[in-house]
Amino acid sequence: MATIHQNVIVVTITILVSLLAMMGLNRVWPREKRQQFNDLIGWQLSILGTTYAVILGFMLYTVWTSFGEAERNVDIEANAVVNLYRLADGLPESQRTQLQTLARSYAETAIQQEWPEMARGEVPEQSSAISQEMWKTVMSVKAAQPTEVNAQEHSMGELESLEQHRLTRILHSKTRLPHVLWCVLLVGGSLTILSACTFGEENIKLQTLQVLFLSLLVSLSLVAIADIHRPFYGLIHVSDYAFQRAHQSMQSP
């Protein structure tokens, strides 16, 4: 979801629809007539609820793990930029100045352009051109001193790491749960709540609380998955703090 307001609306609508479904079922099929089937309904709800709980828990774990991987990948990418900036001190003057300028530009582009683009669901491309310029700069070095050879070799290694993690970040920005999995989550949640509504409770208040709590839990879980499953888009997203920190460190002497 994009905002907290949208999350609240989805949860509220889910709860209201669940309670209305329970009330409609009580009118069509009175609770007194359903009580004789409570054992069968309870057995069905136990199996259905357990199965859905496993699916829901697995989905939450999967999207949260993917989110954590995206955060770690961004940290490594930002560190690679800083390492390139520092390694440039060992290169000849012209390449040193050019590489350090490109490293700062890479961080600025990530913060000012690519993060807003990923937040809109777009694929960022500006850093690719800067990365190519970095490669040209490092490859143009005619190392004469051992320190220059060492700096050039390590710079090439950091460039490989930077490119790898940039591509991984782009892949994460495009990743989302397939529609078939959303179908499983939504249908499974609906069936679980509907099964809870079929219980023939004598106390209508107790049944209302049961359906309310179950629909609240299911809707909150689905909203959490929706907020997390795209690491760079929506209310909960990977921050650009790593690049802000990197850019700040490259400003210091």
Cα 102 to Cα 160: distance, rounded to the nearest angstrom: 16
Rounded to a whole number of angstroms, the CA Rg of the chain reads 27
Q: What is the pLDDT of residue 204?
A: 83
pLDDT band, residue 150 (cuts 50/70/90): very high
For residue 40, what pLDDT is reported?
A: 78
Q: Is residue 4 pLDDT above 90, yes or no?
A: no
Output the six-digit token pair for 33.
């007539």
Domain spans, the chain: 4-249
Q: What is the pLDDT of residues 15-46, one digit of tens each?
A: 999 999 999 988 888 877 777 877 777 888 88
The DSSP call for residue 114 is I
Q: What was the pLDDT predicted at 252?
A: 57
pLDDT digits (tens, 9 = 90+) for 7-20: 999 999 999 999 99
Q: Are 74 and 169 in contact (CB under 8 A)?
A: yes
Residue 201 has pLDDT above 80, yes or no: no
How does DSSP classify residue 232? T
Q: Residue 169 pLDDT > 80, yes or no? A: yes
Residues 162-171: what's their mean pLDDT? 95
List, in order, residues 6 or more apart from 191 with CB less than 8 Å away.
Answer: 48, 52
43 CB neighbour count, 10 Å cutoff:
10
Q: Which among 204, 192, 215 is positioned nearest to 41, based on CA atoms?
A: 192
Find out whether 71 and 78 touch, Cβ atoms under 8 Å: no
Give per-residue pLDDT as tens, 67-113. Answer: 999 999 999 999 999 999 999 999 998 899 999 999 999 999 999 99
Segment 57-76 shows an average pLDDT of 95
Tens-place pLDDT, residues 203-252: 788 889 999 999 999 999 999 999 999 999 988 999 999 999 999 999 85
pLDDT band at 2 (very low <50, low <70, confident <90, very high): low
